[in-house]
Structure 1
Amino acid sequence: MTKELGYIDISRIYSYVEGMGVEFYDVQVEIVDHIASVMEEQMNMNPDKPFKEIFDATLSTFTDFDGLVNEKRRQVARQYNRYVFQSLKSFFSWPKIIFILMLT
């Protein structure tokens, strides 16, 4: 029988990830899923080991999420810039430019 993490354990991992400065929800979900998978694997490999030890040992290996957060910020900035450019491009289309010139 395989051991699985419960809701409370997953909530603890979410709190840890959020406390480490990961503000994007989709990045949090991926990190929590990865940590939970590692913890469940450790729990199944070492069933006699206390949960607290597995929890602490696993979280101690996941300490730096700055690279993931910075990459997500770059993605969001690129997407924002793309939306702004598309909006400006659609605003300054030929019929609108002619209309603005006629008004002025």
Structure 2
Amino acid sequence: MNRTITKEETDQLFQFCREQNIVHYDLQVELVDHLASAIEEQWEKWPELSFEFALKRAFKKFGHNGFRRIYETRKKELNKKYTRLHFKYFYSFFRWPQILITFILSYLIFNTIILTENFRVVYTIFFAFTIPAMVYFYLFWFPKKGKLEAKNNTKFLLLDVLNMRCKQFWMVLFLPLNVFNFIILDILPKEKWATLPFDDLKVCLIIAAMSFLMVCFGILSYSYSIYASQKIKQHFTQQFPEFVK
């Protein structure tokens, strides 16, 4: 009968990971599984090896700073996974029937700018949505629905990714400001805003493009911060239900 890792030895592997500064439980589980498999493979050939000696040999295979590299790699993989999920949701608004909502919202913003005949309304609309959205997100939504803490203050890499994405929400919201600055200040100089010929085709096309961009950035902000965050929480609950408060 092949020798296998016992419960006590598994606990020692978790302690070993903590001694190597691996503080995230989900990453500890992954590394413990790798170490246990490597140790049991050695026992198949040399069953007389002690647990401590087999552990040292298994750990050497990770190389210098091996655990740290695995941490960085795993973190990047999680970020890529939820970035793909975020863009998948974003792109869904350019397929039927969601694309209809995209164009309706763009048309409403376009008409608002045309009716006011003042290009400053672009900034007014943008900040009218952006500032309240940031306040609501950070003071109400994130503390109540976005933030997630595991039982016993256990650290999880998955939750670190969740918190990082939520903290970066303001960066996503202020991205349109730079784009609008480029379009307005470089293409449509500020001193000409009040005299813009709103019946001119070029001006109308620029306004239409900016209206569409505003809707796109709104969808982008929602998908990045709220939709993807909810998916992370859902996946955490499915993977580690015993740690959900």
Amino acid at match of 2:72: N
Alpha-carbon deviations, 1:1-35, whole Å to 9, x = none? 11111011111111111111112111110110000
CA separation of 1:16 and 1:51: change in aligned 2, threshold 3 A: closer
Q: Which residue of 2 aligns with 1:58?
A: 58
| Identity fraction in percent | 22
Question: How many angstroms apart in 1 are the aligned matches of 2:54 and 2:48?
Answer: 11
Name stretches of at least 5 consecutive residues in structure 1 with no aligned partner.
91-104
Amino acid at match of 2:42: Q
Q: Which residue of 2 aligns with 1:12?
A: 12
CA separation of 1:82 and 1:31: change in aligned 2, threshold 3 A: same
Q: Which residue of 2 aligns with 1:70?
A: 72
Normalised to the residue count of structure 1, the TM-score between the two structures is 0.65
Question: How many angstroms apart in 2 are the aligned matches of 1:21 and 1:14?
Answer: 11
Question: How many angstroms apart in 2 are the aligned matches of 1:28 and 1:10?
Answer: 11
Question: How many angstroms apart in 1 are the aligned matches of 2:163 and 2:7?
Answer: 35
Q: Which residue of 1 aligns with 2:184?
A: none
Amino acid at match of 1:86: Y
C-alpha deviation, 1:71, in angstroms:
3.8
Alpha-carbon deviations, 1:41-91, whole Å to 9, x = none? 11111123333322332234345311222344553168624984439x88x
Normalised to the residue count of structure 2, the TM-score between the two structures is 0.31
Question: How many angstroms apart in 1 are the aligned matches of 2:74 and 2:54?
Answer: 29
Contact 2:35–2:55 (CA under 8 A) maintained in structure 1: no
| Greater mean alpha carbon deviation, residues 78-87 or residues 14-23 | 78-87
Contact 2:39–2:51 (CA under 8 A) maintained in structure 1: no
CA separation of 1:34 and 1:8: change in aligned 2, threshold 3 A: same
Name stretches of at least 5 consecutive residues in structure 2 with no aligned partner.
80-160, 170-220, 227-245
* Structure 1 stretches of 4+ moved >6 Å: none
Amino acid at match of 2:61: T
| Greater mean alpha carbon deviation, residues 27-36 or residues 68-77 | 68-77
Contact 1:42–1:54 (CA under 8 A) maintained in structure 2: yes
Q: Which residue of 1 aligns with 2:222?
A: 86
Amino acid at match of 1:70: E
